[in-house]
Amino acid sequence: MIHELEHTKYALDHSAIVALTDKTGKIKYVNDKFVEISGYSREELIGKTHRVINSQYHSADFMKNLWKTILSGNIWKGEIRNKTKNGKYYWVDTTITPLLDEKGKPEQFIAIHYDITKLKDLEKQKDEFIGIASHELKTPVTSLKGYAQVLRKRFIKDGNKVAVSYMDKMDSQINKLSFLIQDLLDVTKIETGKLQFHTEIIDMNHLVKEILETMQLTTEKHLIVTQGKIKHAVFGDRERIGQVMINLISNAIKYSPKSDKIHVLLSSDTNTVKICIKDYGVGIPKEKQKHVFKRFYRVSGAKEDTFPGLGLGLYISAEIIKRHQGDMSVESTTGEGSTFCFILPTYNSTV
Ligand code: ADP
């Protein structure tokens, strides 16, 4: 048994960065990989907390959540950015396991880290590329739209109906392209912390009515029916909240090709406003529902070809709602349909 433990430790020390701390977080042991990556000597680390390698990157909430998790005896997993002795940053994928005493209270913590700095660098490069590419695409698409409109007017003047109908099709494809580019730009803004809001008091019934009227024009098949009323105003970015509704209704239309109805359910109390978009479409399997708000996530399967998209709309929408101190959720049954809801604090509850 002792042999096996020694072998496990030997293997672990060769693959991972390991630290053992007491219950206050003071380092009692570090392996060679920890010493190597941090640039500190063993003597400089023992007796100190992980604060020595703190890079000031993570929020107070992030750290509070980490400590709350491990102090209550649970395992914490996540990605942490640290700083070496000579000031260089490195990222680690971390698992912290509390070792409990006989009363079930954490006595020590084992932190096992894996170096993911290269992966993070690649991710950063990818984000930068998306940012530059979408920015560069925006100008030609805008000018394409302008010229298409000029041509359309010419064809109308000439009475060329066939050409006008082609121009309409072209315009709707250009609009699709613009939306894709806008989504990519929004993702870049989210990733770089540059998504800004222009806040005002919003009459939600008015906003819902406006959005539904516009969205109804985009579908001949589906009837979008509202149920309920919102009795309270919201304080936030009208355009961005409208964008969330457009995303959810577009998805409801896109993912329910065989049904002809979409319900928009409205409700509110003194503290929260709730809006749900219910469709009777393909639905989302249970195990995939928790992933749909992630960046670039698409439910894979045969329908991937049927329904085009980048897997960004829900990620952007959830971020917009989160930044308004709200929350977004989904309930869905495969083959029966999905209901996407979001709640927002009322204006009264925020003043
Ligand atoms: P996109 O639609 O561009 O793929 P989204 O971020 O809007 O990206 O959605 C992510 C994934 O969630 C979609 O690929 C789809 O599989 C699933 N999804 C979203 N809305 C619905 C819906 N109303 N019904 C079924 N599946 C949905």
Backbone angles phi, psi at 254, to 5 degrees: -60, -40
SS3 220: coil
Counting ligand 1 atoms within 8 A of each CB, the residue from 314, 319, 338 with the most, and so the one to mutate, is: 314
Q: Specify the residue with its C-alpha closest to ligand 1, atom 11.
A: 298
Q: Kindly report the pTM of this predicted structure.
A: 0.82
Mutate to test the pocket of ligand 1, among 183, 224, 248, 299 (most ligand atoms within 8 A of CB): 299
The reply to whether ligand 1 has any atom less than 6 angstroms from the CB of 314 is yes
136: exposed, middle or buried (Cβ count in 10 Å: 0-12, 13-18, 19+): exposed
DSSP-assigned letters across all residues of 321-339: HHHTT-EEEEEEETTTEEE
Report the pLDDT value the prediction gives residue 2, as an integer from 0 to 100.
72
Q: Give 10-residue mean pLDDT values along the chain (351 residues).
A: 85 95 95 97 96 93 95 96 97 97 93 97 92 94 95 97 96 93 94 92 96 94 95 96 97 95 96 97 95 91 71 96 97 97 91 63
Q: Is 243 in the pocket of ligand 1 (CB under 6 A)?
A: no
What DSSP assignment string belongs to 48-62? S-GGGGB-S-S-HHH
Q: In whole angstroms, what separates CA 291 from the centre of its chain?
A: 9
| Ligand 1 in reach of 279 Cβ (< 6 A) | yes
State the CB neighbour count (10 A cutoff) for residue 45.
Answer: 21
Q: Is the CB of 282 under 6 A from ligand 1?
A: yes
Regarding the beta carbon of 312 and ligand 1, being less than 6 Å apart is answered yes
- Residue whose CA lies nearest to ligand 1 atom number 4: 311
Q: What angle do CA 143, 147, 150 make, to 5 degrees?
A: 140
Beta carbons within 8 Å of 232's beta carbon, 6+ residues apart? 204, 268, 269, 270, 273, 346, 347, 348
Is residue 251 within 6 Å of ligand 1 at its C-beta?
Answer: yes
pLDDT of res. 326: 97
User: How many Cβ atoms sit within 10 Å of the Cβ of residue 167?
Assistant: 20
Residue 331 token pair: 């309930």
What is the model's pLDDT at position 1?
A: 66
Alpha-carbon distance 317 to 71, whole Å? 34
Q: What pLDDT does residue 305 have?
A: 62
Could you give the CA distance from residue 88 to residue 80 in angstroms, rounded to a whole number?
14
- State how far Cα 140 lies from the chain centre: 28
Kindly give the number of the ligand 1 atom that is closest to the alpha carbon of 299: 16
Q: 40 by DSSP, 3-state: which?
A: coil
Nearest-atom index, ligand 1, CA of 279? 23
313 lines ligand 1 (CB under 6 A): yes
Helix axes 238-254, 204-217, angle to 10 degrees: 40
- Please state, in angstroms and rounded to a whole number, the distance separating the CA atoms of residues 44 and 29: 12
CB burial string 77-106: b at 16+ within 10 A, e below: eeebbbbeeeeeebbbbbebbbeeeeeeeb
- Give the position, in ligand 1's atom list, of the atom nearest the Cα of 337: 24
In the prediction, which pLDDT does 306 show?
Answer: 73
Distance 44 CA to ligand 1 centre (A): 51
